[in-house]
Copies of this chain bind each other. A is one copy, B any other.
Amino acid sequence: MRRMDDLSTEAKASDGGGTGAASTGYRLLDAIAGKAVDRPPFWFMRQAGRYLPEYRQVRAEAGSFLDLCFDPARACEVTLQPLRRYGMDAAILFSDILVVPHALGQPLAYVEGEGPKLEPVRDGAAVARLDASRLHDVLGPVYETVDRVRAGLPAGAALIGFAGSPWTVATYMVEGGGSRDFPHAKRFAYGDPEGFGRLIELLVSSTVDYLDRQIAAGAQAVQIFDTWAGALPESGFDRWVIAPAKAIVEGIRRRHPGVPVIGFPRGAGVLYRRYADETGVDALGLDTAVPPGWAAEALQPVVPVQGNLDPVMLLAGGDAMITEAERIRTGLAGGGHVFNLGHGILQQTPPDHVAALAERLRGPIGG
């Protein structure tokens, strides 16, 4: 694992402009690689989404949500929309973490107002019926989307691919949709760890294959979303969060050395530190609850961090939002930092508030 504290002090300066000989030409990639940047790069989780009227229009034309995910022209369009408005330093592929179970043959539908519905996979026999042989056939349109987005990006804006983490994707697969307490997924994991382990292994290998093709199609970094990492006790976190993330990082690194993997184990609390130490991720997404001061002390010496403004701050807007954003940028200025939210943009967010935040973030810290 690359360690930030091995880097020269020059790499931590914030006045380099990202234009030195060693720059990649991308503020996002420079920050993750520990190179000098003029200011922290920024992008927002769920930046392509329903808070934008132009997204809602394309979404209405596309048919279902899943149709939009598998429509390269429209998925490319909605991926690029927020960059036109706000000039982020990165685009993130528009897709959904559940396209992987869909590609493994698990029936999936999105019910308006209720979220995803899947036919639950709750035992070893159901796991054995999943089939990875058609993965790339089904996911082909996603790779085409990546290719189109990369071609359409403005100069200096990087393209981030992504997948859900095995644990988080498994919760949806086992519960048959969203859940608050994960009774079925945890009962499976706790009561039959070997059977559940086979599901996780299948998801690890499918995720590596999926991200491999995203990178081949043009993704310059990939993020693993582990939205429900914080629901597990330590023993489960080690087995179902850290070990699969480590395996994915190793798989990606073997095929694409130098392409950074961003891990986002949301809600990991003090276990963020062990995730940083043990998975080998190149950057660490922080949720809203992580104190910047602790991240600066405990995490940034190990790995650059990404985060972590409360997305609800974007509902409030105004001075409170700017003050909090600057508190985060200042608190994390001593190490590698990619500015982001602590969770995805909410649907009710006023686009003008995003504009005000982005304007500040395009300037220097404190400026």
Which partner residue on chain B sits nearest A188 by CB separation?
B316
Q: Give A287-322 as 1s and 0s: 1 = Cβ < 8 Å from B's Cβ atoms.
A: 011111110001000000000111111011110110
Question: A264–B293 Cα gap in the complex (Å)?
Answer: 23
A183: contacting residue among B288, B293, B315, CB under 8 A: B315
A288: contacting residue among B231, B272, B312, B324, CB under 8 A: B231
Chain B positions within 8 Å of A182 at CB level: 312
- Does A233 make an interface contact (CB < 8 A)? yes
**CB atoms of A310 and B233 under 8 A apart:** yes
- Does A364 make an interface contact (CB < 8 A)? no
- Copies of the polypeptide in the assembly: 2
A240 to B: closest C-beta gap in Å:
12
A290: contacting residue among B191, B269, B272, B310, CB under 8 A: B269
- Does A187 make an interface contact (CB < 8 A)? yes
Q: Given A233-B342, A235-B327, A310-B233, check contact A183 B348 (CB 8 Å).
A: yes
A318: contacting residue among B191, B269, B310, CB under 8 A: B191
**CB atoms of B313 and A190 under 8 A apart:** yes
Instruction: Give chain A interface residues in 214-239, CB to chain B under 8 Å.
Output: 230-237
- Does A181 make an interface contact (CB < 8 A)? yes
- Does A270 make an interface contact (CB < 8 A)? yes
